[in-house]
Amino acid sequence: MEPKKDLLRGQWPFFLIFFVINFTGLLAISYFGKDELHIYFNQHFHARFLDLFFKYYTDVATTYVLIVTLLFIIWKKNWRHFLFLGGTALVSSIASSLIKRSLFVHGHRPTHYFELKQVQLRLVEGVESQIPYTFPSGHTVLAVILCFYLCLQAKNKWLQVVICFLMGLVAIGRVYLSKHFVIDTIGGSMLGLFFAILGYYLIWECSNDKLDRKIIPVK
């Protein structure tokens, strides 16, 4: 196991960009209001290449990257890596789903929300509209956990910045596709950060040597 490091000092690009993105989102909500912000973003920030990009990006950058990363971990890494990323992602996804289906069961996605208000949104062709369970954004939860893990692996600080930027695009994409409001992505970010830090101290920094065993033993 690697020696323990100060988390904030070692991962400062992650925490700095995380704070900037979410604080900017909160400022925008405070200035415009939740509804007005979504309408303004929907009507003024769009392009054909962005339609095509975000149509696929948010799923690829979360679900598919998670699967590929876990497969690589099984092949090359140890149980500490697998349990930290896989376990944290699983528990946070369950928590996100429970929150959506219990505390915010009546929260509608932007498409249906504005349809009820008779406000027409610009929608991306081929993207299925959804009705319930908008808060928090599950994609953003996974994006934050993936970003946190990949930044732990990246030694170069500029590479960490690039990873954070790519994962930040997931939150932007969820709003762009009108799958979520900005506040949903902020909630997802906070939930993802909570479980990432929890997993870090419970699993990543755990002194149990069994966690350092290879998943596939080298013969």
Per residue in 103-127, pLDDT (tens digit) is 888 888 999 888 888 888 988 888 8
Our measurement of the distance from residue 119's CA atom to the centroid of its chain's CA atoms, rounded to an integer in Å, reads 28
- 218: pLDDT strictly greater than 80: no
The confidence score (pLDDT) of residue 97 equals 92
- CA-closest candidate to residue 58, choices 160, 150, 178: 178
- pTM of the predicted model as reported, rounded to 2 decimal places: 0.90
- CA-closest candidate to residue 146, choices 41, 66, 80, 83: 66
Domain residue spans in the chain? 7-206
Task: Report the alpha-carbon distance of residue 203 to residue 11 in Å, rounded.
Answer: 17
- 2: pLDDT strictly greater than 50: no
Per residue in 140-186, pLDDT (tens digit) is 999 999 999 999 998 899 999 999 999 999 999 999 999 999 999 99
